[in-house]
Amino acid sequence: MVHHTIPSSSTSAPKASSKIKLMTYFSAGSCPKWMSLQTIVGMVLGFPLVLTLVLTLLLCTGCTPGNPPSVVSQARAQQVQPSQVQAPQVLASISPDTTSPAFASALPGALDMPKSRWLPVPWTDLPGWMDDPLHEAWNAWVKSCERPQPAWVGLCNEVRMLSIASLPQQRDWVMQRFQPYRVESPQGATEGLLTSYFEPQLEASRQPQGEFQVPLYRPPADLAQRRPWFSRQDMDTQPEAQNALRGREIAYLSNPIDALVLHIQGSGRLRVTEPDGSQKVVRLAYAAHNDHPYRSVGRWLLDQGLVRDASWPGIKQWVAQNPQRTQEMLWSNPRVVFFREEPLSEFDAAFGPRGAQGVPLTPGRSIAVDPGSIPYGTPVWLSSAGPNITLNRLVLAQDTGGAIQGPVRADYFAGWGAGAAELAGRMRQPLRLWVFWPRIQ
């Protein structure tokens, strides 16, 4: 799913911290010894013997953590080789002095990404780390494991197994397996911008009738032969463009602003009325665009001095008051998105559209990022406070967007429906990010 929002420079984020208890793991040596100790721990915790043995056998599986792709590591960062793979180790709670020089010196080196710098930090730096119900993010993590980076293949086996683990077990595993890094710009800026996006749900007609006159298109046959293709204004005014689009209509909407929202969000759900009067719900997924630059209609309205509130509610209010200028506003954004229709089963309806990583998005636990700053599939700690919502939570980097650029920049997937649309339309607040990357075992 490739979507677009208003591009913006970074803003300041409030500082916050949370004291947590650091968890680590004892090593019990060889796998058979570890299995015996795991079995004892499971029985002490009251797990049924069969479940304990199953979890023990599943956990006794190696993984191969590694460095991020295209990352330039500092002197202390090392590349993990297959020969270094170890089995998960048994959990034990301890409370080391995280302020001691010895603890600080144990942190790995910084990592340089193409568009950001990752600075290692202790877990105590993450606001609200002990308060987030991680199990709510676990399904999104399992989804990312459908398309893992090479460094994640082994760890993904453990992620799947821990889907049935308790919240403390999930948190302790994360703290043992991963090192948190604060995401900064190459110049050291730690604060950025959080916006939000959603999956629109719209009424549509398979044929033009009554108020349903705004078409949504499949990619035209000659899209690859003409770069850029016709602009939005060209498509509305030039016969050559209109001829190329004839027969490519998927469905018709009743409102051009709804169509614009669908183009910006990159996908959506349609309840389509068929010619025989029957209805069905389908998903429109992003297929291509016309190769023109994205221009924010909200920015156009601000630059023209026409509005002070460029949120979607503000834009829609202006359109309602100025219908004679709606076409002019729409043409200010030359980019047009083309779609493909997908069936929407009951199972698929529980998830969002597929993001740029190629996996379905999870409401409240998926974000769009700049992949030059954070690779797809990376677990991210997000901290943001604003007038609409305060967030301190684990999310997964699973998507990108035309306006999602820069080191500390994210777009929060709010889901679908009226509530998601309202949140996405108004969210614009300060942001800080941390990434979790596999430790060298």
CATH code for the domain of 368 = 2.40.40.10
Domain end residue (candidates: 124, 151, 184): 184
Tell me, what CATH number does 212's domain have?
2.40.240.50
User: Are 176 and 80 in a shared domain?
Assistant: yes
Domain that holds residue 331: 198-348
User: Are 171 and 52 in a shared domain?
Assistant: yes
Is the residue at 264 inside a domain? Answer: yes
User: Are 252 and 339 in a shared domain?
Assistant: yes
User: Are 29 and 165 in a shared domain?
Assistant: yes
User: Are 50 and 123 in a shared domain?
Assistant: yes
Roughly how many angstroms between the first and final C-alpha of the chain, as a whole number?
35
User: Are 319 and 244 in a shared domain?
Assistant: yes
Report the C-alpha dihedral over residues 317, 322, 327, 331, rounded to 10 degrees. -60
User: Are 249 and 293 in a shared domain?
Assistant: yes
User: Are 252 and 330 in a shared domain?
Assistant: yes
Domain end residue (candidates: 150, 184, 218): 184
Is the residue at 382 inside a domain? Answer: yes
User: Are 76 and 137 in a shared domain?
Assistant: yes
**Per-residue pLDDT tens digits for 150-181:** 878 889 999 999 999 999 999 999 999 999 99
Domain end residue (candidates: 151, 184, 217): 184
pLDDT in tens, the chain (441 residues): 556 554 444 433 333 333 233 233 333 333 333 333 343 334 334 444 434 433 444 444 443 344 443 333 333 333 333 223 232 332 333 334 444 444 444 789 999 999 999 999 999 999 999 999 999 999 999 999 999 988 788 899 999 999 999 999 999 999 999 999 999 999 999 999 999 999 999 999 999 999 999 999 999 999 999 999 999 999 999 999 999 999 999 999 999 999 999 998 889 999 999 999 999 999 999 999 999 999 999 999 999 999 998 888 889 899 999 999 999 999 999 999 999 999 999 899 999 999 999 999 999 999 999 999 999 999 999 999 999 899 999 999 999 988 899 999 999 999 998 899 999 988 999 999 999 999 976
User: Are 343 and 385 in a shared domain?
Assistant: no
